[in-house]
Amino acid sequence: MDLTRLSAAALSEKLTAGEVTSVEVTQAHLDRIDAVEGAVHAFLHVSDDVALATAADVDARRAAGQSLHPLAGVPIAVKDVVVTEGMPTTAGSKILEGWVPPYDATLVERLKAAGLPILGKTNMDEFAMGSSTEHSAYGNTHNPWDLERIPGGSGGGSAAAVAAFEAPLAIGTDTGGSIRQPGAVTGTVGVKPTYGSVSRYGLIAMASSLDQAGPVTRTVLDSALLHELIGGHDARDSTSIDEPLPALVDAARQGALGDLTGVRVGVVTELSGDGYQAGVSARFAESLELLEKAGATLVEVSCPNFRYALGAYYLIMPSEASSNLAKFDGMRFGLRVEPTDGPVTAERVMSATRGAGFGDEVKRRIILGTYALSAGYYDAYYGSAQKVRTLIQRDFDAAFTQADVLVSPTAPTTAFKLGEKLDDPLAMYLNDIATIPANLAGVPGISVPNGLSDDGLPVGFQILAPAKADDRLYRVGAALEAALENVWGAPLLAQAPELEIAR
Amino acid sequence: MSATTVDLVDYDDAIRRYDPVLGIEVHVELGTRTKMFCAAEVEFGGEPNTQTTPVSLGLPGALPVVNATAVEYAIRIGLALNCSIAESCRFARKNYFYPDVPKNFQTSQYDEPIAFDGYLDVELDDGTIFRVEIERAHMEEDAGKNTHVGGSTGRIHGAEYSLVDYNRAGIPLVEIVTRPIEGAGERAPEVARAYVQTLRDIFRALDVSEARMERGNVRADVNLSLRPTPESPLGTRTETKNVNSFRSIERAVRYEVSRQAAVLDAGEKVIQETRHWHEDTSITTSGRVKSDAEDYRYFPEPDLVPVAPSREWVEQIRAALPEMPAARRRRLQEAWGYADAEMRDVVNAGALDLIEATVAAGTSAAAARKWWMGELARRAKADEVELDALPITPAGVVELQSLVDSGRINDKIARQVLEAMLAGEGTAEEIVTAKGLEVVSDDGPLLAAIDDVLAAQPDIVEKIKGGNMGPIGAIIGGVMKATRGQADAGRVRELIMERIG
């Protein structure tokens, strides 16, 4: 039995039943990492010792009869934008090379408290800015379906790690699609929870009003299990929702039974058609049929302001990022570069450090945001973008009066080749056309793998729900997953090519 | 610094020809236990960088949470300044790069202050009430503290390196901004000083800050512009920073009036700039030019939700507000029966709290004023210290006066006892006992002394017997001398009359 092929839920059962130990499970994943990392490069840091120590501790506590969290002993990978005490955290940037945080993000505290061994930190676009992970300062991550292709971004490392069976679970963050789009192009499940559902304390911020951490897994149920663990109120995040989470795991289990009678599924007119690859559209249509067969009612809904979402996003996100990234200045932590000629003043050290430490995409967004917030431009840019945001929220409100969930393809295309869009930022930005509206409105979304396109690469199906109704994602997502696997006879990842094992 | 001499116009001359307009920004550090946005504990004088958290150090990933006590204090201040309290208001980010600002933005309120549209009635030295309109009071966080090492002056210029202490970073501040203060005329310096002084008293009464100027708990930036007449449009202003005592505020305003008048007289334009007050030389010097190009790229702080104090809470805070200093002064003056001038002197001498405590402990208002505004005020002045810094407490004064009231010592001896108390020789009772200063009330020794004096002055005795009471003072004086002043003069007189018959 290959422990790395099991879902987190299955591992949880075996661990609880005493059929395997966490040390065995963790070691199996560390071995897998060892074997495939040369090809995939999903990790920036692998924390063997720490993970095994946690595993041994969980095993001991289990042996002593302590009651443990269902996911205790199931290993996890964490995106490198989440701070981890005593473990390097770079956010994919040179400017944080070697920085070891003195504290844990709230979600990491919760992982540790529940006894999940942390395998390491996953690769990402620098400061989560990108859709391909090519903007990492530490090299590309390769899509396990085709090593010549991108794994999506910014959370390409977490998605690839899960797709390549290096980890059963991973943490991602999603500001404009950074969990869902990598999920779509790697054939994995990714969830962006309702804004405020998972604490942002300890997430290195890109855009505070859009950022949200969430699960990256291979099954819908695993995402629900992880979401329930990391979610819920946190007094250290003022934007955290002070209410209990809906019953997510229950919703996933109910959905897996396959009955969606009475569920109204809204197909968003504006998130299909031109610009969507033929194979993507075909798989989307097939999935709609499966939902209908499961008893759901399909309705067509229009969200006319979604067409302005990308424009608004590329004003709000860089504006907030320009301010959030100001703290990286070489004064207190991380990279410090002193100018080689001229006086060494604080201002010149800041300038030299930021010049050397930030990559091109980060600089591009800082410049965009600084401009958009400037006196005289604020109303036209940032102010207008916030108005668009309100209109998009109203579109969602109206659509959710007609439908319980909204659906669309997650990304317009399958994974593109490494380097293909690197010199064309606008083409890169268009990858997130279907995922961005959810971030602007704060509503939750999931991407569920729903087949392969004509090029043999995975495609994702996006489900969106009203704020604080994340349970609907899991119910509909699990129902679709069950219906698809019924057709395929196995999970989609069973069709992924075997990676060459480097020994 | 360049050696150019600055032309100054005589203040009185300047004020005859120009109308000054003030604008004052006062920052007060709130005395909350923890910082504005995190749980770092705040204590004065801690080791550098020990009162920090990931939040106040601006570490990646850290998020702010608003300190509810700071909001309550800000509302208290707003209400005391007769302001409206916002039903909902947001924080904003003020973006600028500087090493003492850990995030390279200051979290502050920008276009949505918690309190706005108020006023403060300021009492000037002669009792005149001058109303200062308050534009707004808003919450923000303090910056860290830079220390420049190596330069000769402690300034950044010429320093070898600089150190930053983030203990102060994130301490809650309330900034109170006035509307243009017009109509002060020649009294502009006094108005500026009295305004800040009144605020300081209010902060203390509200118990929102220790409000110690010398520790920087209260910091004033004084804007000043001149115009030819009160009807003219506002002139170009300068903002003088670093004015850290009441006296300096007055002097800085005077200086700027004189300096700007000279600039205008020369047909030049006042430059809109920040100026620094120098305590040692009593002048202001040019800081950075404040052009309109300065752009802090304000935008609403996305990491915080709006602060929305419920009306019930605001009314609870209003109901619990303590008596304001001006009302308290009026009440005490009436209770004590002081004349206006007496009361003003008491307030200006900083004796109000001391006298109140002294009276509360059982001494008459007149006696309390006699001591604090008499001997003790003289002593404080001679020693150049504040009254409350003298080594004597209201309880000590009460004890001293009670010895006088019970007739055990007289006023003259009491002054002697007070000297000894200030010298740390013990309590009034201890000193009187130790030095044998008690009034001699036993008639025996007195009679002996009287007999000695009478025997030495037979001619005076004759005159008194003849009905001429004039010379009796000489006899009394002789007795007092013989008893080293410890005799009760009234009793001595009675005994002399008895003896002579």
Q: Report chain B's mean pLDDT, rounded to a whole number.
A: 91
Burial class of residue A392, CB neighbours in 10 A (0-12, 13-18, 19+): buried
Catalytic residue among A154, A240, A287, A408: A154
Residue A65: pLDDT band by 50, 70, 90 thresholds? very high
Instruction: Report the C-alpha gap between A289 and A276 in whole angstroms.
Output: 19
CATH number, domain containing residue A426: 3.90.1300.10
pLDDT at B467: 78
Please confirm, yes or no, whether A154 is among the known catalytic residues.
Answer: yes
Range of the domain at A60: 23-306+389-491
Number of domains comprising chain A: 1
What distance in Å separates residue A233's CA from the closest CA in chain B?
13
Most confident of A28-37, B120-129, B422-431: A28-37
How many angstroms away from the CA of A336 is the closest CA of chain B? 13
Q: Residue A53 to residues A21, A27, A32, A75, B484: CA-CA distances in angstroms?
A: 13, 11, 18, 12, 89
What residues of chain B lie within 8 A of the CB of A350, using their CB?
97
Question: Alpha-carbon dihedral of residues B106, B107, B108, B111, nearest 10 degrees?
Answer: 110
- Using CB atoms within 10 Å of the CB of residue B150, give its burial: 0 to 12 exposed, 13 to 18 middle, 19+ buried: exposed
Q: Of A237, A332, A350, which has the smallest distance from its Cβ to B57's Cβ?
A: A332
Task: State the DSSP code for B124.
Answer: -
pLDDT grade, residue B154 (50/70/90)?
low
Chain B residues whose CB is inside 8 A of the A236 CB are: 63, 65
pTM of the model: 0.89
Question: Which own/partner contact pairs does B282-286 have at CB distance under 8 Å and 24+ positions apart?
Answer: B282/B251, B282/B255, B283/B6, B283/B255, B284/B238, B284/B240, B284/B252, B284/B255, B284/B256, B284/B259, B285/B1
Model pLDDT for residues B241-264, shown as the tens digit of each residue: 978 899 999 999 999 999 999 999
Residue A447 in any domain: the answer is: yes
Output A427 or A71, whichever has higher pLDDT.
A71
Q: At how many degrees (to 10) do helices B246-265 and B188-206 cross?
A: 150
Whether A201 and B102 lie within 8 Å, measured CB to CB: no
Kindly report each contact of residues B127-133 with a partner whose C-beta sits within 8 Å and lies 24 or more positions away, as own/partner: B127/B340, B127/B344, B130/B184, B130/B187, B130/B191, B130/B194, B130/B195, B132/B24, B132/B178, B132/B181, B132/B191, B132/B195, B133/B178, B133/B179, B133/B181
Catalytic residue among A14, A79, A121, A192: A79
A257 within domain boundaries: yes
What pLDDT, on a 0 to 100 scale, did the predictor assign at position A503? 47
Protein fold of B443-500: Arc Repressor Mutant, subunit A (1.10.10)
A290 in any annotated domain: yes
Half-sphere exposure of B444 (CA within 13 A, CB side): 1
Q: Which of A82, A239, A333 lies at the smallest CB-CB distance from B303?
A: A239
Q: Is residue A14 part of a domain?
A: no
Is residue B473's pLDDT more than 90?
no
As a whole number of Å, the CA-based R_g of chain A is 21
The predicted structure's pLDDT at residue A306: 97
- Sign of torsion over alpha carbons B329, B330, B331, B334: positive
**pLDDT at residue number A215:** 98
The confidence band for B181, taking pLDDT boundaries of 50, 70 and 90, is very high
Q: Is A281 noted as a catalytic residue in this protein?
A: no
Q: What percent of chain B has pLDDT over 70?
A: 96
Is residue B99 less than 8 Å (CB to CB) from chain A? yes
β-strands B238-243, B273-278 pairing: parallel
pLDDT of amino acid A155: 98
Residue B434: predicted pLDDT: 87
CB nearest B60 (choices: A83, A374, A382) = A83
Mean pLDDT of A318-345: 96
CA-based angle A316:A321:A322, to the nearest 5?
Answer: 105
**Residue of B142, B140, B95 whose CA lies nearest to B114:** B140
Main-chain dihedrals φ then ψ at residue B361, nearest 5 degrees: -90, 5
Does A178 qualify as catalytic in the annotation? yes
Cβ–Cβ below 8 Å for B63 and A91: no
Point out which residues pair with B241 in neighbouring strands. Answer: B276
Of A279, A259, A294, A273, the residue nearest A458 (C-alpha): A279
Q: Which residue of B has its CA nearest to A103?
A: B54
In this prediction, residue A502 carries a pLDDT of: 53
- pLDDT for B265 equals 95
Task: Name the token pair of B416.
Answer: 């002697």
Q: Could you tell me what percent of chain B has a pLDDT over 90?
A: 67
Q: Which residues of A touch B295 (CB under 8 A)?
A: 374-375
Q: Are B62 and A201 in contact (CB < 8 Å)?
A: yes
Q: Tell me the pLDDT band of B7, cut-offs 50, 70 and 90.
A: confident
Q: Give the H/E segment covering residue B401.
A: helix B394-405
* Cα B115 to Cα B174: distance, rounded to the nearest angstrom: 10
Smallest CA-to-CA distance from A146 within A164, A162, A129, A134 is with A164
In a domain, A451, yes or no: yes
pLDDT for position B475: 83
Please answer whether residues A422 and A429 qualify as being in contact, where contact means their C-beta atoms are separated by less than 8 angstroms: no
Q: B41 to chain A, minimum CA–CA distance in Å?
A: 16
Average pLDDT over residues A446-461: 98
Strand partners of residue A461: A409, A448
The pLDDT score that the predictor gives to residue B247 is 92
Distance CA A442, CA A209 (A): 8
Residue type, B461: V
- pLDDT confidence of residue B152: 65
Query: A103 vs B57: CB contact, 8 Å cut-off?
Result: no
Residue B182 banded pLDDT, cuts 50, 70, 90: very high
Residue B482's pLDDT band (cuts 50, 70, 90): confident
Quote the pLDDT of residue B289. 67
- Domain contains A345: no
Provide mean pLDDT across the span B431-446. Answer: 78
Q: What is the pLDDT of residues A278-319, one digit of tens each?
A: 999 999 999 999 999 999 999 999 999 999 999 999 999 999
Sign of CA dihedral B17, B23, B24, B25: negative
In this model, does residue A357 exceed pLDDT 60? yes
Rounded to a whole number of angstroms, the distance from the CA of B320 to the nearest CA of chain A is 28
**Amino acid identity for residue B411 in this structure:** D
Distance from CA of A75 to the nearest CA of B (A): 23
In a domain, A64, yes or no: yes
Out of A70-84, A132-146, B364-378, least confident range: B364-378
Q: Does the distance separating the beta carbons of A326 and B97 come in below 8 Å?
A: yes
CA dihedral B49, B52, B57, B63 (to 10 degrees): 180
What pLDDT does B291 receive?
53
Nearest CA in chain B to A203: B61
Q: What is the pLDDT of residue B5?
A: 67
| Residue showing tokens 């309550």 | B72
pLDDT of B133 strictly over 50: yes
The yes/no answer to whether this complex scores an ipTM above 0.90 is: yes
- Kindly state the tokens that stand for B166: 């983030």
